[in-house]
Copies of this chain bind each other. A is one copy, B any other.
Amino acid sequence: MDNASFKPAPEWQVSQWFNSDCPLTLGDLRGRIIVLHAFQMLCPGCVQAGIPQAQRIARTFDPAQVAVIGLHTVFEHHDAMAPNTLAAFIHEYRLTFPIGVDRASSSGPIPQTMAAYALQGTPSLILIDHRGRLRKQTLGAEDDMRVGADIALLLGEMR
């Protein structure tokens, strides 16, 4: 594998943060593996599989090495998933990792970060290496063993 061919991950565009005192950027997290979990709070596959997996990732790995970041990428039912509703969802589901609201587009239903990554839907899991490069992007739920291995392979590159 020619590592030189990996592209820098696009910066996320976030209009509001939860579970973080200040806005976060890719640069702030440089040096760590970033697990970006894109979800919608009314997406059954996110609630049943994606979000619990993101919580398991946050519990399994050392946060000094692996940063789990949620991204609320609303592309349908926009009125139904406004930030005040998301706040109640985060509270009820006891989510503790930082979650950003993907910034709405002025020209269509797809929010800006979702468009920049060309995500096809939710849940999507994105892995960014410690040098800020996009390494993996998956639509739908992958099994825990594969995800754990993929994160650890990136950790191995940090040594």
> Is B92 a contact of A143 with CB atoms below 8 Å?
no
Contacts A145-B147, A152-B153, A156-B157 aside, 14 further interface pairs with beta carbons under 8 A come to: A42-B88, A60-B145, A77-B88, A80-B85, A81-B88, A144-B144, A147-B148, A148-B152, A149-B155, A150-B152, A153-B156, A155-B156, A156-B156, A156-B159
- Chain B residues in 8 Å Cβ range of A153: 152, 155-156
Complex CA gap A63/B82 in Å reads 36
0/1 interface trace, chain A 13-28, chain B, CB 8 Å (1 if under):
0000000000000000
- Chain B residues in 8 Å Cβ range of A143: 56, 60, 144
Per CB-CB distance, the 10 closest pairs between chain A and chain B, nearest first, are A156-B156, A148-B148, A80-B88, A152-B152, A145-B148, A149-B152, A77-B88, A148-B149, A144-B144, A80-B85
How far in angstroms is the closest Cβ of chain B from A65? Answer: 11
Q: How many residues of A contact B (CB 8 A)?
A: 36
Q: Which residue of B lies closest to A61 (CB)?
A: B149
In the assembled complex, A44 has its CB within 8 A of some CB on chain B: yes
Binding site for B on A (CB under 8 A): 42-44, 47-48, 56-57, 60-61, 77, 79-81, 84-85, 87-89, 91-93, 143-153, 155-157, 159
- Chain B residues in 8 Å Cβ range of A85: 42, 79-81, 85
